[in-house]
Structure 1
Amino acid sequence: MSIPASAANHPDDRGHLLTEQANPRSAQLDQLSPLELVDLFNQEDQRTLEAIAAAREPLAQAIATITTALRQGGRLFYIGAGTSGRLGVLDAAECPPTFCTPPDLVQGILAGGPAALIRSSEGLEDIFEDGEAAMADRQVNALDVVVGITAGGTTPYVKGALHAARQRGAKTVFIACVPADQVPAEVDIDIRLLVGPELLAGSTRLKAGTVTKMALNILSTGAMVRLGKVYGNRMVDVAVTNSKLRDRALRILCDLTDLDRAAAAELLDRSGQQVKLALMMHLGHLDADTAQAQLTAHQGQLRPALAAAEGS
């Protein structure tokens, strides 16, 4: 069933939502000492771990869906407003340096655009049609996955984007911090992160923001692991773009081979600053072109490529 734009632009009263309720454990928040504040925040933040554990199955389904889409040439989009949207932009922005992905592979879309990253423009979240337009602007199609992020679940901008994404054949994922019976969603994968009312009533940049960041970490990192951008627990597709990342690349090579730092540096240079290729060359006893051909034949997966090289 589609979401009427008129209804989405005039959501029902949100006061009943879990994210808007007052937390009885913080009723005296304004009277607490600094240490008591820290302790209370720490106690409440334990609920983020519980929420992630409770959502383990849909999170795993989302990882599998995103992996399949990216492997088939699709893209991953995060879309949201306010804190939710900013967290999506942050996660997307961190994929290229961590996993050497092209900038358009994982994209964050924020209501209000780049200006809303540093200046609040939450009023723009109420326009259902703008969310639809964002999907058209990026030519979202059946190969893509669109993750709508909204703590309270009611953001018309996100609802519009998911509605349009489904019409375009994309897979859709919904991340919210309210139960499905409060705010239902017609999506392929429904992830509910129920952390309860905030210590500061309605301030979803707190627990809701924290648990959303955790979930996005799991989705993007999990998908990249499945795509072969990790060997063991090392980011072997790290982009070597500055001295810190070159140092990390050299440490990875030294740790995973018998090379000293000087030899690792020479190998890294011969690989064109590509850690995975360097490992394939050294561990597989191959020249750069043959090593690259092996990786390509195994969809960039280092472990099966090495196994094939050893068996040949």
Structure 2
Amino acid sequence: MTFTKITEQPSKYEHLEKMSVQELLSNINQEDKTVPLAVEKALPQIELLVTEIVAKMKLGGRLFYIGAGTSGRIGILDASECPPTFGVPFDLVIGIIAGGDTAIRKAVENAEDNATQAWIDLKAFDINENDIVVGIAASGTTPYVIGGLEACNENNITTGSISCNAGSPLSQTAKFPIEIVVGPEFVTGSSRMKAGTAQKLVLNMISTATMIQLGKVKGNKMVDMQLSNSKLVDRGVKMIMGEVPVSYEQAADLLKKHGSVRKAVDNFTAQ
């Protein structure tokens, strides 16, 4: 099978600089509409990876995302949202970007081309066989990501991947590959657009489905969320009121006393 970087193919649109703002927005929107359909086609692949992640986490394992550039930033975003949303430790889901934290805001020259650095970065976290590493790369060819997964495979660490080209070297390296083929970008090669959106949608699915499977959601509520601002405290109070027969003031007292919606409801119910 010949590998073609569809993410690098010419845009279907010509003379973008001659388009009006309305035309630009409409055409970008038309392209964006295709992304969820591409994700839908990959649901069986996503299911396999999520099932494996849940199994690893039940053994005490952690989930790592590794990527470069936009892909690395999207992985860090998803990882950083898990503790406040689901009340899990900050080191349960870990995002690593080529070039280190500096690369979150500013591109680090040649960082993605270093095929050995990802394994060095992972070893800093004492990675082990209970953990799982998901490499993220729109092209599916990023040396930093591929090298990281190859080292994980050699050390019996389960690997997954998210890419936007079919049959990429990254997919061939990962034990649980996910391929979201979104086609050429509106601006040729600008994979922060449709490819980035696809990666974000898949990561939303992976982390959310995993946390639900691990019991971090009750009904449809984030009962273990961190109460880090007044909006979330108010949300938590109203969650408690929806579960047990108490006033707003009583629910607020329970939440303050027990520190989470789950504990407040469980303690009230046990009385």
Calculate the TM-score normalised by the size of structure 1.
0.83
What CA distance in whole angstroms lies between the structure 1 residues aligned with 2:257 and 2:124?
41
Report the secondary structure of 2:160's partner residue.
Answer: strand
Match of 1:64 among 32, 51, 57: 51
- 2:104 aligns to what? 117
Q: Given the superposition, is the C-alpha separation of residues 96 and 182 from structure 1 closer, same or farther in structure 2, using an over 3 Å criterion?
A: closer
Aligned residue type for 1:239: Q
Instruction: Give the C-alpha shift of residue 70 in structure 1.
Output: 1.3
What CA distance in whole angstroms lies between the structure 1 residues aligned with 2:171 and 2:239?
45
Q: Does 1:286 align with 2:255?
A: no
1:167-202 Cα offsets, whole Å, 9 max, x none, are: 222211011000016765222211001100001000
Instruction: Give the C-alpha shift of residue 69 in structure 1.
Output: 1.2
- 1:20 aligns to what? 8
1:92-142 Cα offsets, whole Å, 9 max, x none, are: 111111111111100000001111011112521001011221222222211
* CA RMSD, Structure 1 to Structure 2 (Å): 1.5
- Identity of matched residues, %: 41
Instruction: Give the C-alpha shift of residue 64 in structure 1.
Output: 1.2
Aligned residue type for 2:192: R
What CA distance in whole angstroms lies between the structure 1 residues aligned with 2:191 and 2:147?
21
Aligned residue type for 1:286: A
- 1:229 aligns to what? 216
- 2:247 aligns to what? 260
Alignment of 1:103-142 (within 5 A): 103-142=90-129
Report the secondary structure of 2:33's partner residue.
Answer: helix
Q: Does 1:274 align with 2:254?
A: no
Report how many residues are paired.
269
Aligned residue type for 1:170: I
* Kept after mapping to 2: 8 A contact 1:135/1:165: no
1:228-264 Cα offsets, whole Å, 9 max, x none, are: 1101111001011222221111121122332221111
Instruction: Give the C-alpha shift of residue 152 in structure 1.
Output: 0.2
Q: Given the superposition, is the C-alpha separation of residues 192 and 122 from structure 1 closer, same or farther in structure 2, using an over 3 Å criterion?
A: farther
Aligned residue type for 2:65: Y
* Kept after mapping to 2: 8 A contact 1:81/1:122: no
- 2:229 aligns to what? 242
1:10-58 Cα offsets, whole Å, 9 max, x none, are: xxxx9x410100022x123221111111110111001111111001011
1:278-310 Cα offsets, whole Å, 9 max, x none, are: 12223xx315xxxxxxxxxxxxxxxxxxxxxxx
- 2:30 aligns to what? 43
Larger Rg: 1
- 2:195 aligns to what? 208
Match of 1:160 among 117, 131, 147: 147
Unmatched 5+ stretches in structure 2: none
* Kept after mapping to 1: 8 A contact 2:135/2:159: yes
Any runs of at least 4 consecutive aligned residues in structure 1 with deviations exceeding 4 A, and if so which? 181-184
Aligned residue type for 2:267: M
- 1:83 aligns to what? 70
Aligned residue type for 1:79: I
What CA distance in whole angstroms lies between the structure 1 residues aligned with 2:247 and 2:114?
57
Match of 1:94 among 81, 88, 93: 81
Aligned residue type for 1:191: I
Q: Given the superposition, is the C-alpha separation of residues 46 and 120 from structure 1 closer, same or farther in structure 2, using an over 3 Å criterion?
A: same
* Kept after mapping to 2: 8 A contact 1:17/1:182: no
